[in-house]
Amino acid sequence: MQNNPDLISYISEFYRTTDTKLNHLTKQIELLKKHITLLYALRTDIADIPPATGHLKMKQQGCLKLLLLIDQVLRDAGIEYFLGYGTLLGAARSGDFIPWDDDIDICLMRADFHRATDILSQRFNHDDFFTTRGLSGGIFKVLFTKKICVDLFPWDTYHTRMETEDQRTEFINTYIRAMDTARQLEADQRTLADNPGAIVSSIYENYSQISNDIIMQGLPPDFQHGDIFEGIDWQTFPERVGRFYHASPFHREWIFPLGQIKFCGHMFPAPNNVDAVLTTRFGDWHTLRPDFSRHTNPPLSYEEIASIRKFIDTQQ
């Protein structure tokens, strides 16, 4: 079959203009997000937002029970983890959930993440418990029914401590490249799932290859002094397509050795410098903003209410 130059030119132009429009839309979404956040900060005070009630409160209670079970399993296995993201933010602000949050986030260094997912996969795949991974080995979820969830996020160690602004800028640029490459990998994997014989552009097979090549530049992590960064294993539209992910590193001493923090009346592992971690992650974390957590909180069915209530009342 001969190549059709007109068809090839048309397809190339189609993809070029589509990509341009997508980039423009992404920038407009980022701008809109900034405006919404500013308006929210101007009009909303945390005192005006009451704690969760009803179904949302039940979900939060169920998530806490599930975390307590996971905590015991990980402690027995000698696996370190720490509260992160919206859960750490809620613990630091009030010792409780962010009012609209309906899951729990915990973070683990990469090696511990792999160990934890293996153990939790064996322990929590029965009855109403199950586990699942994001596409191509992303974040790991432990669930009770489909409404009670604890998310596990892998974090990685850089090959050095970043002492200068140039080093930080270089890291941020490579992190953004890695995340964009991961987005392409995921798009290609969706294409292959629909059409196994399709030709795709990605040269990588998983997130680790992308991170090792682009961010780490083939160098080994420095587990003694290297800064820490969030793994690129993200799966949600806002973080990947909207570029709302976090590209800044964290100094190792902000996290290790781990401290503790009270959350819902229980003590859990946490970074030893919670303020430094939250400030680096969120900026002014004392001012509650809508981008701290994005949840739709779908309603519970009658059967789910009974099952979750029994789980809350019987699990120790």
Q: What is the pLDDT of residues 50-101, one digit of tens each?
A: 777 788 899 999 999 999 999 999 999 999 999 999 999 999 999 999 888 8
Provide, rounded to the nearest whole percent, the portion of the chain with pLDDT above 90. 52
Q: CA angle at residue 211 from 207 to 213, to 5 degrees?
A: 115
- pLDDT, position 245: 74
Q: Which residues sit opposite 228 in a β-bridge?
A: 157, 250
115-157 per-position pLDDT tens digit: 999 999 999 999 899 999 865 556 899 999 888 999 999 999 9
| Alpha-carbon span 96 to 190, nearest angstrom | 38
- pLDDT, position 42: 47
For residues 39-55, give the mean pLDDT. 61
Whether the predicted model's global pTM rises above the 0.95 cut: no
Q: And the tokens for 128?
A: 């109403």
Query: CB under 8 Å to 24, separation ≥6 — which residues?
Result: none
